[in-house]
Structure 1
Amino acid sequence: MTLVDEFLDYYLAENPIRAALLGADGYDRTLGDFSASAFQARERAAEAWLERLSAQVPGSPDDEIDRDLIVSHLRGAIASASWPEWRRDPSPYLGAVFGSMFTPLQQRLKPEPELVDAACARLAEVPAVLAACRENLDPDLAADLLVARGLDQARTARRFLTVTLPAEVRDPGLRVRLAQAAEPAADAFDELVRFLEGFEARGSWRMGEKLYSELLREREMLGYGAAELHEMGRTAWDELDARMREVAARLGSDDWRAAMESLMDDHPPTLSAMRAEYEAETLRARDFTRERGLVTFPEGEECLVLPSPEFQRPILAVANYLAPPPLTPSRAGVFFVPFTPDGFTEEQVRQRLRTNSRAQMPSISVHEAYPGHHWHLAWMAGNPRRARKIFRTPYFVEGWALYVEKVMHEQGYFDTPATELAHLDCRIFRAARIVVDTALHCGDMSIKEAETFMATKASLSPGTAKGEVSRYCAWPTQAPSYLTGALEIERIREEYAGDLRTFHDTIAGSGGLPLGLARKAVIQ
């Protein structure tokens, strides 16, 4: 067994939820250890593994990429230990429960009795996980905004566990068994809700320039920090603004924001109609991608288009994607359409529909499905190297999905001024994300200023802008990954000597690597 294999076995054992979601056998009956001592032990182990792996001499170029991929992950983990999420935010605990419970029943890769057995075993551990959350949250480190996000999500738990989750089970007897097992877990969530309602958080959600830049350089392997990235975002925004003015003029407007506002009035009438129209657009993108020969399709791939799960709706206002577990033969993924939470007003629902207008649907479907996330993650699951299946960075994964939007534009997919403007709007939105995320976490912008920036520099409704900014505060460095990654992939493509399809198959098939490693995998 190589040292890389030894580390991967260790990683899966210490992260059983992630292991099970990746499709590894033997990890689906436990949530893992969320105690403070366990988090601290994992932090110490990361330092020891980094030392051992850094001293290793790889046997081949691919071995070196695998080693360096793990090293980048470890360096990021060590840097992040100075800003411990498990002390600051309820989300590591809540996400563990929601994701581990919902995803297996959604993917149905095992017989239903086995899925229910595993779910019941995990439900039995929920009270201990939530007790650890209450014990570990530090009032001096936790921030009101992060606690409020967690509280909103925790309030959905009882219905999710006792109604939504059992409804996924087809056998009546198994359904009753799962619902009964869910009751103590739901009670534990009720207790957590009461705790969070009375929790007084005195910390900050701002990461600060030093750690932000360290993560860009060490984990993402980019050659620049937060200040340089901020300027890249502003430059990209200015360039896109000029292009969008030209396209808006073809629509009879001298203001692209006004033109987008008008286009957004043409939207599906209901949430269910929005899902149906996204499904049709996803099929059109798939056919176009195949006809143009832009990529090689993996055998057996399938992309379902479904409403977003209830537990996601309070914290995620945009479309998202659930990948097939790469350690299994499955190549079926899910494009989740952003439904609103129960209790939203008619006007709030209308605003959500407006930000998923018919002009915007082609870009979003390309990004989430073909040849974006679904194609990429189904294709890369065929890579035989285990490290590439386990570790990936959003700077490649999200960068890829935005990069292929531009490719589809070059190929003529956005064939009207309306869809072209919406495509550019998706891109300028990602430039605005770079500007706002770096400014927020480096202390150069308030939340209110960020919400105004997103509502005026991109075509977001005030409500969607508010949800976006809340996400940036909770997930520093992720929002810039889209356009940053796309620009880096475009630079690698300029260096590549082969044809477009081979480039796409090669770079996407190499995994979801930090961009410096992705270049090494393609440019020998």
Structure 2
Amino acid sequence: MDEFLKWYFSDRPVIAAMLGADGYDHTLGDFTAEAWQNREREQARWLERLSKAEAPTLDDAIDRDLVVSQLRGNIAMASWPVWRRDPSVYLGSIFTAMYNPFQNRLKPEPELVSAAISRLAEVPGVLAACRANLDPDLAAPLLVKRGLGQARTGRNFLTRTIPSMVEDPELRAKLAEAAEPAAQAFDDIVTFLEGFECGGTWRMGERLYSTLLREREMLGYGAAELHEKGKAAWAELDARMQEVAVKVNGSRDWRAAMEVVMDDHAPTLDDMRAEYEAETRRAREFVREHDLVTFAEGEECLVLPSAEYNRPVLAVAHYLAPPPLSASRRGVFFVPYTPDDFTPEQVRQRLRTNARAQMPSIAVHEAYPGHHWHLSYIAENPRTVRKVFRTPYFVEGWALYVEKLLHEHGYFDTPATELAHLDFRIFRAARIIVDTALHCEDMSIEEAETFMSTKASLSPGTAQGEVNRYCAWPTQAPSYLTGAIEIDRIRESFTGGLKEFHDRIAGSGGLPLGLAEKVALA
């Protein structure tokens, strides 16, 4: 396993540095076609070798099977080469590599600036590889347009945002100067993408989608069964929400009730962030008072505006974990600010989809005992591979599971917050239905947007951003409710206490659910 991780880190230095591994923060890595093809061959070799490896203990077997599941998923994806289809593969790596070190601050500022300058020198090469590798027959116009929105933020991000994170004036000026060639490369990729004509599809297809569910996520079922699970969950939640809606506005129409709920929101984006910070503190105290989990020593969760480069592609709250291979236990809950070019009405809609009654669910999901608690706690796990690989079917499943957990303990203590809690859950059921239908059937983007804005309480603009994300990231959207349901099922078979269950299953990592069940019930 140590040999495998050494290869994995050297092949993916941005990921290695993001995890907190030493020695990888001066390079972006090789993004040429040859490098992608070599990676595919090496993954097949590692799969063969690890599949034959003996595992003397259960923990060793879990480690091996975790890596094998990831490799099987990656090898299956070779038939759907994202590096030929989607410019965000290249852009996202650059943004992450430049932003995270200054946000996490694991090293002295001069070292951070030195590493950033080295990476800036490689940006033109990475973007040149993007231009060379994108295949007009495979790349989908939707994905190229999505990447173009990110690319347009590149110049400002590199020449202003990143230098503004440097405190020393001389180092700041040095970094800004070094950023200019990279910024020019971003200008060039914007021009390229604006003129890039392509005709590929974003639809993954049922065969690969189901393969990923079975091989990578270890779920034991494919897309068709997942689709039906989503429909059944939606119908059950719909009935429950009609009952709660009566308490909100006297009607069984929960969509109308949610419209009333969403009208009570913070007046500005900055006020929204401040209110989220207060709610995050309240959630932490509630979890501690009810003794639901064990907290990591020294954990801390900041609540900050979302990074500028993410605003065109992420319309929802999200979380940056502390690098698990480092000593840091400080994570960041990012509040979803809008891009600078949004109209006042678009900003108002963003505020409405982060209404005051919705904030408790979101703070629980992103912070306590959701993502922040979980990912700061697993950083304590002594097994390195558990900190390197995790699946959204557990990580996002856990965050939605704990929303229900806190509901059971009385955290959502008004009809409005209870309705909002259920609305977030039915939203995740709608995601299952839409994601599987988009990629495995023939649901159109317009039909998907209408579904998300009528079967969940999303504004048309937010629904558009959500569906855009599903097209770009197949199989991820169903992970939330799917994982939550599976964790609930496993809990029913656990014979110990609730806190013991949480510490064991979540502390074991972000495992595929089949492996998480083995750990919990061993």
TM-score, normalized by the shorter chain, greater than 0.5: yes
Counterpart Cα distance in 2 of 1:184 and 1:376? 40
Q: Which amino acid aligns with 1:472?
A: Y
Counterpart check, 1:206 vs 2:203: yes
Counterpart Cα distance in 2 of 1:56 and 1:20? 28
Counterpart check, 1:432 vs 2:416: no
Counterpart Cα distance in 2 of 1:96 and 1:63? 31
- Give TM-score, length-normalised by structure 2: 1.00
Q: What is the CA distance between 1:11 and its match in structure 2? A: 0.4
SS of the equivalent of 2:302 reads strand
SS of the equivalent of 1:7 reads helix
Q: Deviations over 1:172-231 (max 9, x none)?
A: 000000000100000000000000000001100000000000000000001100000000
Q: Which amino acid aligns with 2:516?
A: A
> What is the aligned counterpart of 1:194 among 191, 194, 197?
191
Alignment of 1:126-141 (within 5 A): 126-141=123-138
SS of the equivalent of 2:66 reads helix
Counterpart Cα distance in 1 of 2:104 and 2:233? 38
- Give TM-score, length-normalised by structure 1: 0.99
> What is the aligned counterpart of 1:84 among 68, 76, 81?
81
> What is the aligned counterpart of 2:369 among 368, 371, 375?
371
What runs of 5+ residues in structure 1 fail to find an aligned partner? Answer: none
Q: How many residues align?
A: 521
Q: Which amino acid aligns with 1:506?
A: R
Q: Which amino acid aligns with 1:16?
A: P
Q: Which amino acid aligns with 1:150?
A: G
Alignment of 1:117-128 (within 5 A): 117-128=114-125
Q: Which amino acid aligns with 1:328?
A: S
Partner residue, 1:326: 324
Select between 249-258 and 173-182 the one with higher mean Cα deviation. 249-258
Q: What is the CA distance between 1:295 and its match in structure 2? A: 0.4
Counterpart Cα distance in 1 of 2:467 and 2:46? 35
Q: What is the CA distance between 1:57 and its match in structure 2? A: 1.1
> What is the aligned counterpart of 2:299 among 298, 301, 321?
301
> What is the aligned counterpart of 2:462 among 459, 464, 472?
464
SS of the equivalent of 1:350 reads helix
Q: Deviations over 1:227-257 (max 9, x none)?
A: 0000000000000000000100122122000
Q: Which amino acid aligns with 1:39?
A: W
Alignment of 1:120-519 (within 5 A): 120-251=117-248, 252-519=250-517
Q: Deviations over 1:440-498 (max 9, x none)?
A: 00133100000000000000000000000000000000000000000000011001000
Partner residue, 1:60: 57
Counterpart Cα distance in 2 of 1:444 and 1:509? 40
Aligned-residue CA RMSD (Å)? 0.4
Counterpart Cα distance in 1 of 2:67 and 2:258? 43
Counterpart Cα distance in 1 of 2:48 and 2:105? 39
Counterpart check, 1:24 vs 2:27: no
Counterpart Cα distance in 2 of 1:343 and 1:46? 42
Counterpart Cα distance in 1 of 2:2 and 2:98? 28
Select between 250-259 and 124-133 the one with higher mean Cα deviation. 250-259
Counterpart Cα distance in 2 of 1:158 and 1:431? 38
Q: Deviations over 1:380-422 (max 9, x none)?
A: 0000001100000000000000000000000000001000000
> What is the aligned counterpart of 1:51 among 48, 51, 65?
48
Counterpart Cα distance in 2 of 1:90 and 1:64? 37
Partner residue, 1:104: 101
Counterpart Cα distance in 1 of 2:105 and 2:257? 44
Q: Deviations over 1:77-134 (max 9, x none)?
A: 0000000000000011000100010011011110000000000000000000000000
Counterpart Cα distance in 1 of 2:175 and 2:459? 40
Counterpart Cα distance in 2 of 1:222 and 1:11? 25
Q: Which amino acid aligns with 2:311?
A: R
Counterpart check, 1:115 vs 2:112: yes
SS of the equivalent of 2:390 reads coil
Q: Which amino acid aligns with 2:287?
A: T
Counterpart Cα distance in 2 of 1:158 and 1:444? 38
Q: Which amino acid aligns with 1:271?
A: L
Counterpart Cα distance in 2 of 1:443 and 1:373? 32
Partner residue, 1:14: 11
* Runs of 4+ displaced beyond 4 Å: none
SS of the equivalent of 2:420 reads helix
Counterpart check, 1:35 vs 2:11: no
Q: Deviations over 1:297-335 (max 9, x none)?
A: 111000000000000000000000000000011100000
